[in-house]
């Protein structure tokens, strides 16, 4: 596999979101302080509440004394204000406002303590096994830790589950009316340097160093037109030495990922990777594939030498439901290294046959 560049950070992970493959990593499971990257989980719960209709973008939340007095990055809101949810979201994302974050947490959770419980429950549900939250904003607190791998999981799910809210992360400048004009610039420098970057979040404390979860979309030949033809990469960089360093090192990782790997479409959406025999069904075969197709990232120039093989249980016996997971597509390079193992699903439901058909297939299976 291609050798990643030297990256000046305590830990990092580069994920190809389009294919689900980790392209490079360093200390991806080492516990670290997330600083304001914590706000990705806060945003996840806020977006979930919006999606469920529990809150709306136009409703207002009050500002508690606790929110008003939060140290660190601020939106500069105070207890005299009733602030629309959408403005609090922008204040949390663009300005990394700890005051806005606490106001959102209290508004969605009812209390800060209850919201933190919800954060930890959601982390568990997403499979973030090495993450523990103690607050919604990311200030240093004992036991408040995560990993680069868990952050990549969270960021990916955030983008996939709430695509309608992802554009907030590409806002370069925002401030709430009446707050300081100088406090309007997104701290993610890559939004100003690279037009393909559209998020996501910065973080910094003395203990965590300078951190950045950055994501970019660039067009790729052969994947199709429009959004379907774009490849998204995500870099998680933790513990850089400065604001400029976290941006430069993240840019280095993203650029390397786009140049060192090619993206190859192996299966079109809905195309079958295999149509094996199925027993005791109304059909004799079942189509296995993926509704969205299969795309893999491979070292540059290796696309023509890929080999793929379907690994599945045998025999297959009806009924099998559409979407049911059955087997994997194992993709290897010419040299034999495994590039990816992609789960396959049933593309069309195969119902059980009648009593006679099932009995006849049972006899044939027994003879085999």
Report the catalytic residues.
36, 39, 96
What b/e readout covers 164-180, taking b as 16+ CB neighbours within 10 angstroms? ebbebbbeeebbbeebe
Alpha carbon 19 to chain centroid, angstroms: 12
Measured over the CA atoms of residue 6, residue 8, residue 11 and residue 14, the dihedral's sign is negative
Compute the distance between CA of residue 107 and CA of residue 85 in angstroms, rounded to an integer. Answer: 9
Compute the distance between CA of residue 198 and CA of residue 20 in angstroms, rounded to an integer. Answer: 19
Compute the distance between CA of residue 274 and CA of residue 288 in angstroms, rounded to an integer. Answer: 6
Compute the distance between CA of residue 15 and CA of residue 3 in angstroms, rounded to an integer. Answer: 15
Q: How far is CA 252 from CA 4, 96, 199, 249, 257, in A?
A: 10, 24, 16, 5, 9
DSSP characters over 323-339? T-EEEEEEEE-TTS-EE
Q: What share of the chain is helix, strand, coil (3-state, %, to 5)?
A: 35, 30, 40
- Beta strands 325-332 and 288-289 are unpaired
Strand order in the sheet with 272-274: 272-274, 288-289, 338-346, 325-332, 307-311
**Given the structure tokens 């809150």, which residue do they identify?**
55
- φ/ψ of 168, rounded to 5, equals -60, -30
């Amino acid at each position: 596999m291609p050798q990643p560049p030297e990256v000046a950070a305590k830990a990092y992970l580069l994920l190809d979101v389009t294919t689900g493959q980790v392209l490079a990593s360093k200390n991806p499971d080492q516990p670290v302080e997330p600083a304001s990257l914590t706000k990705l989980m806060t945003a996840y719960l806020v977006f979930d509440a919006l999606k469920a209709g529990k809150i709306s973008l136009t409703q207002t939340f009050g500002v508690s004394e606790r929110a008003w007095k939060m140290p660190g990055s601020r939106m500069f809101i105070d207890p005299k204000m009733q602030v629309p949810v959408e403005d609090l979201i922008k204040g949390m994302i663009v300005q990394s406002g700890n005051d806005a974050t606490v106001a959102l947490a209290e508004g969605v959770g009812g209390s800060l303590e209850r919201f933190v419980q919800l954060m930890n429950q959601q982390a568990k549900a997403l499979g973030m096994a090495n993450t523990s939250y103690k607050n919604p904003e990311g200030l240093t607190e004992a036991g408040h830790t995560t990993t680069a791998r868990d952050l990549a999981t969270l960021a990916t799910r955030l983008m996939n589950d709430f695509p309608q809210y992802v554009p907030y992360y590409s806002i370069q400048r925002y401030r709430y009316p009446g707050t300081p004009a100088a406090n309007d610039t997104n701290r993610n420098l890559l939004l100003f340097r690279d037009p393909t970057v559209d998020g996501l979040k910065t973080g910094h404390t003395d203990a965590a160093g300078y951190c950045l979860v950055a994501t970019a979309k660039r067009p790729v030949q052969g994947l199709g037109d429009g959004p379907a033809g774009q490849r998204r990469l995500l870099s998680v960089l933790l513990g850089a030495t400065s604001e400029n360093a976290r941006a430069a090192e993240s840019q280095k990782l993203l650029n390397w990922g786009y140049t060192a790997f090619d993206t190859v479409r192996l299966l079109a959406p809905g195309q079958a990777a295999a149509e094996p025999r199925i027993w005791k069904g109304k059909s004799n075969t079942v189509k296995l594939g993926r509704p969205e197709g299969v795309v893999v990232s491979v070292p540059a120039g290796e696309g023509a030498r890929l080999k793929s093989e379907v690994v599945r249980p045998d025999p297959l016996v009806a009924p099998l439901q559409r979407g049911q997971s059955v087997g994997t597509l194992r993709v290897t390079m010419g040299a034999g290294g495994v590039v990816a193992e992609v789960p396959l699903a049933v593309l069309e439901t195969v119902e059980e046959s009648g009593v006679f058909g099932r009995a006849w297939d049972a006899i044939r299976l027994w003879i085999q």
